[in-house]
Amino acid sequence: MRKQIAAANWKMNKRLDEGQTLLTAILAGVNSVQPNQEVVFAVPFPYLVPLQSLVADKTNISLSAQNCHHKTSGAYTGEVSVDMLDSININYCIVGHSERREYFAESNAVLAEKVNLCLSKNITPIFCCGELLNIREAETQNQFVAVQLEESLFHLDETAIQKVVIAYEPIWAIGTGKTASSAQAQEMHAHLRAVLATKYGTVVANNISILYGGSVKGANAVELFSQPDVDGGLVGGASLLADEFIQIIHALKG
Ligand code: PGA
């Protein structure tokens, strides 16, 4: 059965001491995570090692990188490779967040390389897809996200694709307070699963977790996560507030 995942994306927020306080408060509010659930904290690179001791003895709670470089190593000043992440035992990495696509011009082809490198080190890519408002208004979002999957993931074989977590994040809903309705989320998630099923078959498609992202909060998480094809969330703003994120974790399907 596919995992239900609550993933926090801290983005470029918090000083280290504030991050330690936040993570400690969240962990204190979560007694245990069910075997089919996973809680992931995508924190800034410099905090990956210092925060590791806080989650070390926790089951199904992990730290994640927010990005990695698409080359293995070399003269890329300021970049972080998957090998570096592997060397500090990081098992998750967000790939292709819309902010990276927009501000750092990450293409579907570059993201395919990042996905490959992550998988080569057994790092689970949390692969983000999602459309801009104008695409939604033109009602071409289904085709748009299908192409994102095809160009960045569909070179993978059946085994490899099942190691990928997909996050559907409509860009018009990120940080805007404008959540997709649970019906809109379900419709898109079912579409993504159907696209995966066409390529890999239903059994494989049913094993892939598809998270929803875009203004997930404590107050809307239960309704969103209770949709049959929504397997949790990738959460920005509300993951910076302990009470909100605890509520979001508790909203995961059991
Ligand atoms: P948000 O961000 O929850 O603040 O909308 C989600 C994301 O960008 O991953």
| Pocket-forming residues, ligand 1, beta carbon under 6 Å | 9, 169, 174-175, 213-216, 234-238
Q: Which of 69, 70, 97, 189 is catalytic?
A: 97
**Closest by alpha carbon to 191, among 138, 153, 229?**
229
DSSP-derived 3-state class of residue 58: coil
The CA-atom distances, in angstroms, between 250 and each of 80, 176, 191, 215, 244 are 33, 23, 26, 17, 10
pLDDT of residue 122: 98
Contact between 65 and 94 under an 8 Å Cβ cutoff? The reply is yes
pLDDT of residue 1: 83
Residues 6+ apart with CB under 8 A from 138: none
Q: Is 223 a catalytic residue?
A: no
Residues 6+ apart with CB under 8 A from 84: none
Query: Which one of 95, 174, 241 would you pick to mutate in the ligand 1 pocket, going by the greatest count of ligand atoms within 8 A of its CB?
Result: 174
Antiparallel, parallel or unpaired: β 4-9 and 37-42: parallel
Give the residue, by CA position, lying nearest to ligand 1 atom 2. 236
- Give the containing element (helix H, strand E) for 168: strand 165-168
DSSP state of 123: P
pLDDT of residue 254: 87
pLDDT of residue 175: 82
CA 13 remoteness from chain centre: 17
Half-sphere exposure of 29 (CA within 13 A, CB side): 17
Question: Which residue do the tokens 């692969």 mark?
Answer: 127
The CA-atom distances, in angstroms, between 57 and each of 53, 54, 89, 181 are 8, 8, 14, 37
pLDDT of residue 226: 97
CA 151 remoteness from chain centre: 18
pLDDT tens for the chain, 254 residues long, are 899 999 999 999 999 999 999 999 999 999 889 999 999 999 999 999 999 999 999 999 999 999 999 999 999 999 999 999 999 999 999 999 999 999 999 999 999 999 999 999 999 999 999 999 999 999 999 999 999 999 999 999 999 999 999 999 999 988 888 888 999 999 999 999 999 999 999 999 999 999 999 999 999 999 999 999 999 999 999 999 999 999 999 999 98
Q: Is 70 a catalytic residue?
A: no
